[in-house]
Amino acid sequence: MRVALPKGRLLSDTAALLDRAGWQLNDYQPKARLYRLTSAKFPELSAKMLHEKDIPIQVAIGNYDLGICGADWVEELVSRYRLSSLVKVRVLGYGHGALYAASAAGDGVTSLADLSRRADKVRLASEYPNLAEQLAIQLRLKNYAVYPLWGSAEAYPPETAEVVILPRKSAGELVLKGLKVLSKVLDFKAVLIANRESLASKDLSAAISSILANLPPAVEFNEDAPPKTVAALEAYHEYAPDVVRLALPDGHQQPHVRKILDAAGIGIEDYPSDRGFRRPKSDLEGFAIKTIRPQDMPIQVANGNFDLAITGWDWLTDHLHQFPASPVKRLLDLKYGWVRIVAVVANEVPVTNAVELKEYFRNRNLRVASEYINIADEYARNNHFGRYRIAPTWGSTEAYLPEDADLLIENTETGGTIARHNLRIIDTLFESTACVIGNTRAADNPVKRKRMEALVERLGKALDQAK
Amino acid sequence: MTQERCRGCRDLIPEQMLKFRLAESVFIDTALKWGYEEVRTPTLEYLHLFTATGTLTPGMLGQVFSFLDWDGWSGERVVMRPDGTIPIARLYTDSLTDREVARLFYVVNTFLFEEKPGSGRERWQCGAELIGGSGPLADAELARMALETLELLGLEGRIKISHSGVIQAVLAQLEPSPEARHKLFDDILDGNESVMSRLAESNPELLAGLKTLLGVTGTSSNYLSNLRSLFGYSVELEAAAGDFAATLDTLDDVGVPYEIDLASGRGFEYYTGVIFHLSVNGATVGGGGRYDNLIALMGGPSRAAAGFALYLDELMKFIDMAEYEMEEPDRFLVNFQPGDEARAFAVATDLRDADYTAEIKLGDPDVMDYDWVLNITEDGLLVLSDTETDEEFEFETVEELVEMLGGEASEE
């Protein structure tokens, strides 16, 4: 019996539930270094910790018999793919959250019906692109575009998306971010899911009943009324066309970027922001800055929402594989955040390179797992692998070998994590560092162009001096 | 090792392709005789073509094959054509608005994810659109033409007829929102328990009337009088029933038999007036209706329009090739010695010019698949043998041979 358990948000409640259920898992805790778990109560059981978002797909394709994750990720999957192979067994009564459709306060949109009446394109940005599309279809939007995001959706309205769909515990949290809730799209809790085939043919009763017998008491969730008044965000779209829109990375890269900006003598406030704000102020004239996920930058720069951004060469490469004619270019190598993008197999697979891998899997379906789906796809195509499938993952990709995938396309700094998981690198695709990327079409405005060039030059000089 | 075919897609092997071409050519001949002109639209269209006009149901939009365009970073999505009519309306709006009346036909494939296993993803249809033709006469023309196509294929087609306006007007008494009515209608037709019990509680008389109406089919416009008595007077219903009656009267006048069946208007939001449902032996083989708003919704001029499509994949199931006397030209197998390839090609070309089918010998074919075997001898003579009688004839030139056969390429 194989079980997929969530990392992150639901981990501690799920661990407590399984503890009450007497599973006696060996190492199901936040800082666990290995992803494989065993249960003293069920010797037949093997469990793995996965990113919550990956669990519904892994259960649906039959890699796992049971899984626990938020119902939001289940809905995201089944709203687009009628997955008859996925069964929702029971809502588990913890991990409450809601998905909201929201727009910027003060943007003139007062309801979803307002959007339905619009003839021009409505941009929806979300980590839940399938649910966003479903909403667009239900609202009968006349013209819409859905931008899938890795995260930080709250940063987008009003300049880079009219509507975002994002999870929060309450509407009030969004209001404090300067957003206005248009509707609640979904209420969700943690849910126990099963693979239909497993449910039909395997005996999972002991595991399921032990979970159901130990559910926490249902908690009535009362949402606080959201605060009434909130200041509208200062919007980019009020800036002149010669203003450069710059995207800086959020997350763990911020100290690196801050160091480079300091070295170049660029004053910047509220970056990294301890209040979680996403609009740092700088002393650069004619610049407006936002912080978003580095993975989302290439497409945002390509579609003209930003002119310049700081992201990884790996993410730009992935974007360029998907859209070879994209107007985004690397303008400056920032020479930090060095990683190798590598092809990885399990140690027991007797191959040392891509050619041998192709032969080894001849006439078999090769399962590839990667966060870089377009790089992985290109790699499989260029090496003429036969039938292959790429499963997108959202982190901890090394957990997938060997049971759930045959090949990973992964980034690594030292190779340590890969070796620790009993895996082996068989190929290096390329090396990646952080870089400044820009939209070549943004250079049409001469003032903007000068500003962009000046910033890139300043950063370049600072790097040279730091050598 | 065999290669798997893509799920929900089918191959057409030669025998099936014959049926396909037969159905297609009968439709094309019929359409041409009625004065329709052939057009073709691309397989890929922008997604917003199908969302902007609001003519596809959310359910249908959820089934389209869509993907990011080459410049998908701009958010632009394309779809594989899920429907035949909307692209034709676009084509008309793009290129043909100078025509007050356009009679257009097409043979295209449409793509939708299968609703249930076994229903295909790629569906071929023969469609006709009459743009700019107003009202009952145009409806009657399309109905007549559809039935005529089926007749010429040797099939007994039946038309069920419904009316979008009438359905809307009846449901308006249950549901104020036009969008919600479509779903309500489908729920009622599906016998959705929770919806039915909700309606039974809130509007028992109306629901009873509706059930009667959906359960009973009519064969004349008297049916419409009964409609009025069941649902009371409303301006909307009166106007729709009047429009419906005018079409029914015209169908009676031009001798198109029909059955009134409001339930056949499923998925009716596309249409603004009459809705046709075509069947053979109880199986759906086509459908159509009036869509007077579509051209204007696309930014074109206000033009009444209606059309129908025949579903080729369904029609093919009813075509029995044995019933057709296919006039096939005699088949020749041209056999030759190594080194005589050029002569063999020349001889085969002469035979084809005389309207015969000629194949150069490859491999080891069964001669009984041919009417004649023509051997080119070493000294250049043509020896013809009849595969049925084994009789042999000698010729020096193809002209002599053709003359001997009477210059007739076909067996009578």
Please tell me the predicted confidence (pLDDT) of residue A235.
52
Tell me how far apart the alpha carbons of residues A7 and A236 are, in angstroms, rounded to a whole number: 36
Cβ <8 Å between A326 and B51: no
Cβ <8 Å between A141 and B51: yes
Listed in sequence order, the residues at least 6 apart from A196 whose beta carbon sits closer than 8 Å to its beta carbon are: A84, A85, A86, A87
In angstroms, the Cα distances linking A65 to A23, A215, A256, B57, B106 are 16, 20, 42, 35, 49
Nearest by CB to residue A145, choosing from B52, B70, B75, is B75
Report which residue type is found at B379: D
Q: For strand A407-412 and strand A339-346, is the pairing parallel, antiparallel, or unpaired?
A: antiparallel
Tell me how far apart the alpha carbons of residues A312 and A310 are, in angstroms, rounded to a whole number: 7
Nearest by CB to residue B73, choosing from A119, A134, A299, is A299
Taking the Cβ of residue A140 and every Cβ of chain B, the question of whether any pair is shorter than 8 Å is answered with yes
B69: closest chain A residue by CA: A323
Please tell me the predicted confidence (pLDDT) of residue B410.
41
Say if residues A422 and A408 touch (Cβ distance below 8 Å): no
Name residues 24-63 of chain A within 8 A of B (Cβ): none
Please tell me the predicted confidence (pLDDT) of residue B409.
47
Instruction: Name the 3-class secondary structure at A306.
Output: coil
Taking the Cβ of residue A142 and every Cβ of chain B, the question of whether any pair is shorter than 8 Å is answered with yes
Nearest by CB to residue A323, choosing from B52, B62, B73, is B73
Tell me how far apart the alpha carbons of residues B329 and B356 are, in angstroms, rounded to a whole number: 5
- Higher pLDDT residue, B378 or A33? B378
Q: For strand A122-126 and strand A163-168, is the pairing parallel, antiparallel, or unpaired?
A: parallel
Q: Tell whether the torsion through CA atoms of B341, B342, B345 and B348 is positive or negative.
A: negative
Residue B350 annotated in ligand binding: no
Task: Find, among A159, A156, A139, the residue nearest to A148 by Cα.
Answer: A156
Instruction: Name the 3-class secondary structure at A229.
Output: coil
For chain B, give me the number of helices (H) and strands (E)? 15, 16
A324: closest chain B residue by CA: B70
For chain A, give me the number of helices (H) and strands (E)? 15, 23
Tell me how far apart the alpha carbons of residues A459 and A464 are, in angstroms, rounded to a whole number: 9
Tell me how far apart the alpha carbons of residues A420 and A34 are, in angstroms, rounded to a whole number: 9
Query: For residue range A229-260, what is the model confidence (pLDDT) as tens digits?
Result: 555 555 555 678 899 999 999 998 999 999 99
Nearest by CB to residue A137, choosing from B62, B68, B74, is B62
Tell me how far apart the alpha carbons of residues B313 and B285 are, in angstroms, rounded to a whole number: 8
DSSP string for B55-92 = -S-HHHHTT--EEE-TTGGGT-EEEE---SHHHHHHHI
Report which residue type is found at B331: R
Taking the Cβ of residue B179 and every Cβ of chain A, the question of whether any pair is shorter than 8 Å is answered with yes
Nearest by CB to residue A303, choosing from B48, B73, B179, is B73
Cβ <8 Å between B51 and A137: yes
A143 neighbourhood in chain B, CB within 8 Å: 48, 51-52
CA atoms within a 13 Å half-sphere pointing along the CA-CB vector of B21: 9
Best A323, A364, A365 residue to mutate vs chain B (most B CBs within 10 Å): A323
Q: Tell whether the torsion through CA atoms of A113, A116, A121 and A124 is positive or negative.
A: positive
CA atoms within a 13 Å half-sphere pointing along the CA-CB vector of A343: 24
A373 neighbourhood in chain B, CB within 8 Å: none
Structure tokens given for A261: 């900006």
B179 neighbourhood in chain A, CB within 8 Å: 140
> Distance, in angstroms, between B412 CA and closest chain A CA?
52
Best B73, B76, B183 residue to mutate vs chain A (most A CBs within 10 Å): B73
Task: Find, among B286, B289, B287, B275, the residue nearest to B316 by Cα.
Answer: B286
DSSP string for A249-263 = E-GGGHHHHHHHHHH
Taking the Cβ of residue A83 and every Cβ of chain B, the question of whether any pair is shorter than 8 Å is answered with no
Name residues 14-73 of chain B within 8 A of A (Cβ): 48, 51-52, 54, 58, 61-62, 68, 70-73
Tell me how far apart the alpha carbons of residues A433 and B307 are, in angstroms, rounded to a whole number: 59
Q: For strand A423-432 and strand A339-346, is the pairing parallel, antiparallel, or unpaired?
A: antiparallel
Listed in sequence order, the residues at least 6 apart from A251 whose beta carbon sits closer than 8 Å to its beta carbon are: A293, A294
Cβ <8 Å between A134 and B62: yes
- C-alpha distance across the termini of chain A, in Å: 55
Task: Find, among B162, B152, B161, the residue nearest to B315 by Cα.
Answer: B152
Query: For residue range A405-456, what is the model confidence (pLDDT) as tens digits?
Result: 999 999 999 999 999 999 999 999 999 999 999 998 877 889 999 999 999 9
> Distance, in angstroms, between B50 CA and closest chain A CA?
8
Best A80, A81, A82 residue to mutate vs chain B (most B CBs within 10 Å): A82
Listed in sequence order, the residues at least 6 apart from A296 whose beta carbon sits closer than 8 Å to its beta carbon are: A147, A149, A150, A151, A152
Residue B175 annotated in ligand binding: no
Query: For residue range B198-240, what is the model confidence (pLDDT) as tens digits?
Result: 877 888 877 777 777 777 777 776 777 777 777 777 888 888 8
Report which residue type is found at B210: L
Residue B228 annotated in ligand binding: no
In angstroms, the Cα distances linking A458 to A202, A244, A259, A260, A454 are 63, 15, 13, 10, 6
Please tell me the predicted confidence (pLDDT) of residue B133.
83
| E strand spans, B132-266 | 157-163, 259-260
Residue B83 annotated in ligand binding: yes
B70 neighbourhood in chain A, CB within 8 Å: 323, 325
Residue B209 annotated in ligand binding: no
Task: Find, among A156, A189, A131, the residue nearest to A9 by Cα.
Answer: A189
Structure tokens given for B103: 């009679």
Query: What's the whole-number mean pLDDT along residues A166-189?
Result: 92
A147 neighbourhood in chain B, CB within 8 Å: 75
Taking the Cβ of residue A319 and every Cβ of chain B, the question of whether any pair is shorter than 8 Å is answered with yes
Tell me how far apart the alpha carbons of residues A134 and A146 are, in angstroms, rounded to a whole number: 10
Count of other CB atoms within 10 angstroms of residue B127 = 24
Nearest by CB to residue A138, choosing from B58, B73, B77, is B58
Cβ <8 Å between B62 and A121: no
Query: For residue range A312-353, what is the model confidence (pLDDT) as tens digits?
Result: 999 999 999 999 989 999 999 999 999 999 999 999 999 999
Query: For residue range A40-94, what is the model confidence (pLDDT) as tens digits?
Result: 999 999 999 999 999 999 999 999 999 999 999 999 999 888 767 899 999 998 9
Instruction: Name the 3-class secondary structure at A179.
Output: strand
> Distance, in angstroms, between A306 CA and closest chain B CA?
12
Show the 3-state SS of B306-340.
EEEEEEHHHHHHHCCHHHCCCCCECEEEEECCCCC
Taking the Cβ of residue B100 and every Cβ of chain A, the question of whether any pair is shorter than 8 Å is answered with no
> Distance, in angstroms, between B84 CA and closest chain A CA?
19
Say if residues A163 and A114 touch (Cβ distance below 8 Å): no
> Distance, in angstroms, between A330 CA and closest chain B CA?
16
Cβ <8 Å between A145 and B76: yes
> Distance, in angstroms, between A339 CA and closest chain B CA?
26
Angle between helix B204-215 and helix B222-231 axes, rounded to 10 deg: 170
Computed over every residue of chain A, the mean pLDDT equals 91
Report which residue type is found at A66: L
Cβ <8 Å between A303 and B61: no
Q: Is the pLDDT of residue A228 over 70?
A: no
Count of other CB atoms within 10 angstroms of residue B363 = 4
What values do phi and psi take at B51, rounded to 5? -95, -35
Cis peptide leading into A157, omega within 30 of 0? no
Task: Find, among A297, A309, A334, A333, the residue nearest to A438 by Cα.
Answer: A309
Taking the Cβ of residue A14 and every Cβ of chain B, the question of whether any pair is shorter than 8 Å is answered with no
Best A83, A116, A143, A163 residue to mutate vs chain B (most B CBs within 10 Å): A143
Say if residues A244 and A308 touch (Cβ distance below 8 Å): yes
Instruction: Name the 3-class secondary structure at B157.
Output: strand
**pLDDT tens, N- to C-terminus, chain B (412 residues):** 577 888 889 999 999 999 999 999 999 999 999 999 999 999 999 998 988 877 777 778 888 999 988 888 888 899 999 999 999 999 999 999 999 999 999 999 999 988 777 778 999 999 999 999 878 999 999 999 999 999 999 999 999 999 988 888 888 888 887 777 777 877 777 777 788 788 778 888 777 777 777 777 777 767 777 777 777 778 888 888 889 989 999 999 999 999 988 888 876 677 889 999 999 999 999 999 999 999 998 889 999 999 999 999 999 999 988 888 778 899 999 999 999 999 999 999 999 999 999 999 999 999 999 999 999 998 889 999 999 999 999 999 999 999 998 764 444 3
Structure tokens given for A288: 């407006």
Tell me how far apart the alpha carbons of residues B182 and B269 are, in angstroms, rounded to a whole number: 6
Tell me how far apart the alpha carbons of residues B334 and B396 are, in angstroms, rounded to a whole number: 15
Task: Find, among A121, A115, A113, A117, the residue nearest to A143 by Cα.
Answer: A121
B54 neighbourhood in chain A, CB within 8 Å: 140, 142
| E strand spans, A308-464 | 308-312, 328-333, 339-346, 366-370, 388-392, 407-412, 423-432, 434-439
B114 neighbourhood in chain A, CB within 8 Å: none
Residue B243 annotated in ligand binding: no
Radius of gyration of chain B (CA): 28
Residue B125 annotated in ligand binding: yes
Cβ <8 Å between B1 and A137: no
Count of other CB atoms within 10 angstroms of residue B144 = 16
